[in-house]
Structure 1
Amino acid sequence: MSKRKMPLRKKLLIAGAVVLAVLVLLTGAFFWYVSDYYRAEDVALAVLSGEDGITVQDDLTILSPSTPTDTAIIFYPGAKVEAQAYLPLLDQIRQTGVTCILVEMPFNMAIFDSNAAEEVMEQFPEVEHWYIAGHSMGGAMASQFAANHPDEVDGLILLGAYIYGDYSPADTLTVYGSLNQSVEDKLDYTENVVEIEGGNHAQFGNYGPQKGDAPATISAEEQQKQTVEAIEEFIGSRSAA
């Protein structure tokens, strides 16, 4: 006696149900993953309430220096790090006379909007000299943007990251902590590289210890101070050229 074949419609319904179940599981896993991110510490959030010259405009936080400038830095945060964690660093940079524009990324991951800088540039036509910067994955995406738009940026600034894509080390400042071995192992260039002795991966921002990161032997304040000095020197040398 032959087996009765399952109707095609029923097969399609079962297949559709399986696909839907897989999609639901994957979607749930994704949102679980991105919801577990590093929050900005109170010292970072305090910058928003305690300083003049800082404005929030949709997904941008603009930190303006006390005097007008034609130079600005667009900053991409590290993966799964709340953007506001970088406010203490950027607040110090803007005090050197450079506008800083912090981009809040979708799901706190720059990989989902690596070209965000294009829209930022359109909103600030008065800026003549653009630098794009980022930390960790944010640095990788900033590097990718610079490589794809070399005529639109004056330089690239990487923190705890290395050049990703075809962009010249001569136009790049790379800053990393001496305890961030994973970055040091990937560097295949030496030009404009600054190693901060005792620094680690996380302390470019203020979001607490990061999983897998070595404890720093210097404070976050000291690591950020040296970072600001390196950035000021890098931009200054290019402005004078």
Structure 2
Amino acid sequence: MKKKHPILKTVKRIWFLIAISFTIWLVYSYQAKGVSESFLQGSDIISVKDNDDYFLFEPKQKFDKVFIFYPGAMVDPKAYVPLCRKISENGIKVYLIKMPWRLASKGYEIPKQLDLFADKTKTYILAGHSQGGKMAAQFVKKNPNLIDKLILIGTTHPRDISLANSTIPILKIYGSDDGVADERTIFQNKSKLPATTKFVKIDGANHAQFGYYGFQFGDNSARISREKQQYKTLKSILSFINQKPF
């Protein structure tokens, strides 16, 4: 039996250690950071639920809009709780979906499986960050009659599919300093979206600050605070949601 060369064995061990270290770093870096537990407590205007499938923020007063959010790949869904709660505080029911293995590619059909679109009197807005945006676009492609508006945040997608013929309003929010979903690639894929798509650029924004988590591999440093980036994202989302369909 041929013995393995000692140098080859050493190289394999080094690569194994690098892979393990990188995985540990990913898990740590993509954990939610700076999210107060108060964000998961109810108030006079909304109730909050946390179960195995989603975080739910529901207005106590009558509402007519439902917002469903897909997290980025590997990111702790809790990292998007501040944004989703603030959206709900504006009279919108919000589902923040918890993806299997933290991968939207594995769970993007969850809202349909849970029958979240049962009430036909409501307006349904689907949104996602990064890979969550990719799979939100995929959901709309497969289920064009279930979603009334689509919001893509910090993503170069759709890239492998086309929504150019979609008739629903679409918003794309991106950061000028996003190293993961850079502006050049975003506009390379512009033809995959309808001509009516609205693009919103947030100057100084990077990729990770669309959520509350650590530094993301491949990203750039932001030139604005997380709070300012979140505020501008929220403002753009609410303006788009409340805008009458064309």
Question: What is the CA–CA distance in structure 1 between the aligned matches of 2:233 and 2:65, rounded to whole Å?
Answer: 18
Match of 1:218 in 2: 224
Match of 2:85 in 1: 91
Normalised by the size of structure 2, how large is the TM-score? 0.77
Q: CA deviation at 1:184?
A: 1.4
1:48 equivalenced with 2:40 (yes/no): yes
Match of 2:199 in 1: 193
User: Which runs of structure 2 are paired with 1:93-112 in the superposition (5 Å)?
Assistant: 93-112=87-106
Question: What is the CA–CA distance in structure 1 between the aligned matches of 2:65 and 2:175, rounded to whole Å?
Answer: 26
| Structure 2: unaligned runs, 5 residues or longer | 1-18
Match of 2:56 in 1: 62
Match of 1:174 in 2: 172
Percent of aligned pairs sharing the same letter: 35
Question: What is the CA–CA distance in structure 2 between the aligned matches of 1:112 and 1:33, rounded to whole Å?
Answer: 19
Deviation per residue, 1:176-227 (Å, 9 max, x gap): 1110153312224373000000000011110122122111111111111111
Question: What is the CA–CA distance in structure 2 between the aligned matches of 1:216 and 1:87, rounded to whole Å?
Answer: 20
Match of 2:67 in 1: 73
Q: How many residues align?
A: 211
Greater shift after overlay, 117-126 or 97-106? 117-126
Question: What is the CA–CA distance in structure 2 between the aligned matches of 1:34 and 1:59, rounded to whole Å?
Answer: 25
Instruction: Confirm or deny: 8 A CA contact 2:151 2:172 kept in the other structure.
Output: yes
Instruction: Confirm or deny: 8 A CA contact 1:69 1:127 kept in the other structure.
Output: no
Question: What is the CA–CA distance in structure 2 between the aligned matches of 1:34 and 1:111, rounded to whole Å?
Answer: 21
The structure where helix makes up a greater share of residues is: 1
Question: What is the CA–CA distance in structure 2 between the aligned matches of 1:49 and 1:158, rounded to whole Å?
Answer: 27
Question: What is the CA–CA distance in structure 2 between the aligned matches of 1:123 and 1:57, rounded to whole Å?
Answer: 18
Q: CA deviation at 1:50?
A: 6.5
1:235 equivalenced with 2:241 (yes/no): yes
Match of 2:14 in 1: none
| Structure 1: unaligned runs, 5 residues or longer | 1-28
Q: Match for 1:223: what amino acid?
A: Q
Q: CA deviation at 1:42?
A: 3.7
Greater shift after overlay, 114-123 or 77-86? 114-123
Match of 1:183 in 2: 182
Instruction: Confirm or deny: 8 A CA contact 1:63 1:101 kept in the other structure.
Output: yes
Q: CA deviation at 1:125?
A: 2.8
Q: CA deviation at 1:137?
A: 0.3
